[in-house]
């Protein structure tokens, strides 16, 4: 079957509601949140269910027509940017198939928006803890395919850890129903795990069984000032021990990030009257309504930490509205950062004990490459992942900085990450943006295993070509 014939056949399978071919209407699908992520596609296909996805993939397999899967299109590495084949959006597949409160699971279509899943779990008196600033748009299929992290990874793990089973359409159109709701299943290789972080290069996730938790009954949200990364690390360690490992969030935010937030975000407000060099947004939450008072526990923890010089100031949210205000700062930082202008951006992780080392050495390295460059990062300190950026010195234009110093700066930072046994991409994935980093930093044996897996599942290379492995 030729390409044109295949496209006509796909249109017949999904019907008029299931595709878009006018170029102007395709823009939300071909242009991403990052302005440089612009792709092209002859057809955006929006199947209504798994059977339609399978029929579309079968046609593509016969015609060797490439497919780029897409969820909410919030990915930051260009994984969902189409490269000439069809763009397959899961956004019509947004049904919650079943909530099982006794089994603490939820079975859902892959196109469900994350925030809708959080709300559905909440309505069933349960909790789905995956949380990230893009949760109003990103989908669970995208979250699993990028193995998303977010602000609660410290306690609950990544998307991969919150999933018991998946349903996948393989590159030849076969449907694998792996929607298991089991906590124990020792029957061979972890096939589910292969698709976590595969970014659509091994198949299309159409459904998932998600892990639920009891709803937290008490939450203490605190905005606190700390003298530096080493003090933050010690505080985290104490907070985990004092709370019975109930630290839900531990986000590190330097003053520069707060200034950036105040510069770019409407209704931005500084939570503390005095300015400090570093802050932490910490939440401790318990599933038990009684027996422990998390606010009293947090106050006691902070009092002792202040005596020991680990905390210099703090405010504990007294209401849900105050808590929202604290979160507004953290959740606005990606948008504020985008508005700030082009920079060297890293989504790096190191073992958390190495964070102070990284935080001390990275600016010194940046200074050697470009004197005056502004190097700092914010983010998921509790799991070792910072969104670290190096920006031009005052007076230097962003494009000039990037042209002259962009690549050397990025590699110098990532070499430090590698030296500290970290990761060059902690939660955003590879897409097409980080292909060169894969070759530079991934072990050859890992690349060889990944390539052989790809070749065995997708011998014609139709699933999201040009992503992850190139
Ligand atoms: C403001 C902002 C904040 C963010 N914060 C975080 C954060 O804290 N933590 C974090 O991890 N990420 C974060 N991200 C990145 C992004 O939201 C996540 O990567 C998210 O998981 C992507 O989901 P999506 O549905 O938008 O996927 P898309 O962008 O549509 O796709 C991402 C990748 O997954 C593939 N894919 C999508 N759906 C499927 C499917 N059903 N089957 C197979 N492959 C599929 C695509 O082909 C692509 O390769 C943030 C993004 C923004 C814009």
Closest CA to 76 of 21, 36, 120: 36
Residue 145 Cα: closest atom of ligand 1: 34
Residue 371, domain member (yes or no): yes
Q: What confidence tens digit (pLDDT) does each residue in 154-186 have?
A: 999 999 999 999 999 999 999 999 999 999 999
* Domain edge (last residue) among 315, 338, 361: 338
Q: Are residues 327 and 407 in the same domain?
A: no
pLDDT recorded at residue 1: 83
Residue 143 Cα: closest atom of ligand 1: 21
Q: Are residues 128 and 194 in the same domain?
A: yes
Confidence tier at 33 by pLDDT (50, 70, 90) = confident
Domain membership of residue 137 as a residue range: 96-214
Q: Are residues 116 and 201 in the same domain?
A: yes
Listed in sequence order, the residues at least 6 apart from 462 whose beta carbon sits closer than 8 Å to its beta carbon are 60, 61, 64, 65, 66, 67, 85, 171
Residue 78, domain member (yes or no): no
Q: Indicate whether 34 pLDDT > 90.
A: no
For a mutational test of ligand 1's pocket, the pick from 32, 52, 70, i.e. the residue with the most ligand atoms closer than 8 A to its C-beta, is 70
Q: Are residues 329 and 352 in the same domain?
A: no
pLDDT (mean) for 113-132:
98
CA-to-CA distance for 413 and 132, rounded, in angstroms?
25
CA-to-CA distance for 393 and 397, rounded, in angstroms?
9
Q: What confidence tens digit (pLDDT) does each residue in 244-288 have?
A: 999 999 999 999 999 999 999 998 999 999 999 999 999 999 999
Query: Are 333 and 253 in contact, with CB atoms under 8 Å apart?
Result: yes
Q: Give the Å distance between the CA of 119 and the centre of ligand 1.
A: 19
Residue 169 is given by DSSP the state E
Residue 135 Cα: closest atom of ligand 1: 17
pLDDT recorded at residue 262: 96
Regarding the beta carbon of 145 and ligand 1, being less than 6 Å apart is answered yes
The whole-model pTM stands at: 0.96
Q: Indicate whether 36 pLDDT > 90.
A: no
Regarding the beta carbon of 427 and ligand 1, being less than 6 Å apart is answered yes
Residue 425, domain member (yes or no): no
pLDDT recorded at residue 414: 98
Regarding the beta carbon of 144 and ligand 1, being less than 6 Å apart is answered no
Regarding the beta carbon of 152 and ligand 1, being less than 6 Å apart is answered no
Domain count, the chain: 3
Instruction: Please give the share of the chain, as a percent, with pLDDT higher than 90.
Output: 97
Q: What confidence tens digit (pLDDT) does each residue in 404-440 have?
A: 999 999 999 999 999 999 999 999 999 999 999 999 9
Closest CA to 130 of 458, 445, 427: 427
Regarding the beta carbon of 53 and ligand 1, being less than 6 Å apart is answered no
CATH code for the domain in which residue 391 is found: 3.30.70.2740
Q: Give the Å distance between the CA of 203 and the centre of ligand 1.
A: 16
């Amino acid at each position: 079957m030729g390409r044109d014939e295949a496209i006509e056949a796909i249109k017949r399978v999904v019907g008029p509601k299931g595709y878009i071919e006018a170029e102007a209407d395709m823009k939300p699908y071909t242009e991403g949140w990052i302005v440089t992520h612009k792709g092209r596609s002859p057809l955006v296909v929006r199947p209504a269910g798994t059977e339609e996805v399978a029929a579309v993939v079968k046609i593509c397999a016969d015609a060797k027509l490439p497919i780029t899967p897409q969820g909410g299109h919030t990915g930051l590495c260009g994984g969902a940017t189409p490269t000439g084949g069809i763009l397959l959006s899961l956004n019509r597949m947004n049904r919650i198939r079943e909530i099982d409160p006794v089994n603490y699971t939820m079975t859902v279509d892959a196109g469900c928006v994350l925030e809708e899943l959080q709300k559905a779990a909440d309505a069933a008196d349960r909790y789905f803890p995956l949380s990230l600033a893009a949760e109003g748009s990103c989908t669970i299929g995208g979250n699993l395919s990028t193995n998303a992290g977010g602000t609660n990874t410290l306690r609950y793990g990544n998307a991969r850890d919150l999933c018991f089973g998946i349903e996948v359409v393989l590159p030849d159109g076969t449907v694998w129903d792996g929607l298991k709701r089991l906590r124990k299943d020792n029957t061979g290789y972890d096939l589910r795990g292969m698709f976590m972080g595969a970014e659509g290069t091994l198949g299309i996730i159409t459904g998932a069984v998600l892990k639920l938790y009891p709803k937290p009954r008490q939450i203490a949200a605190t905005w606190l000032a700390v003298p530096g990364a080493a003090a933050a690390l010690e505080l985290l360690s104490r907070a985990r021990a004092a709370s019975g490992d109930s630290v839900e969030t531990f986000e590190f935010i330097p003053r520069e990030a707060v200034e950036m937030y105040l510069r770019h975000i409407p209704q931005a407000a500084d939570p503390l009257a005095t300015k400090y060099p570093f802050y932490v947004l910490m939440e401790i939450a318990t599933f038990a309504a009684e027996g422990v008072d998390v606010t009293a526990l947090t106050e006691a923890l902070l009092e002792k930490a202040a005596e020991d010089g680990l905390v210099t100031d703090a405010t504990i949210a007294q209401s849900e509205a105050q808590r929202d205000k604290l979160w507004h700062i953290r959740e606005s930082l990606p948008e504020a950062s985008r508005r700030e202008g082009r920079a060297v951006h890293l989504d790096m992780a190191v073992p958390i004990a190495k964070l102070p080392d990284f935080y001390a050495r990275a600016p010194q390295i940046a200074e050697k490459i470009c004197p005056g460059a502004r190097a700092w990062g914010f983010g998921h300190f509790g799991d070792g992942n910072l969104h670290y950026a190096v920006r031009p010195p005052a007076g230097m234009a962003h494009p000039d900085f990037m042209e002259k110093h962009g690549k050397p700066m990025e590699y110098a930072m990532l070499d430090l990450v590698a030296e500290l046994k970290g990761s060059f991409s902690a939660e955003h994935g590879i897409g097409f943006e980080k292909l060169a980093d894969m070759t530079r930093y991934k072990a050859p044996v890992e690349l060889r295993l990944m390539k052989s897996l790809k070749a065995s599942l997708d011998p014609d290379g139709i699933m999201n070509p040009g992503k992850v492995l190139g």
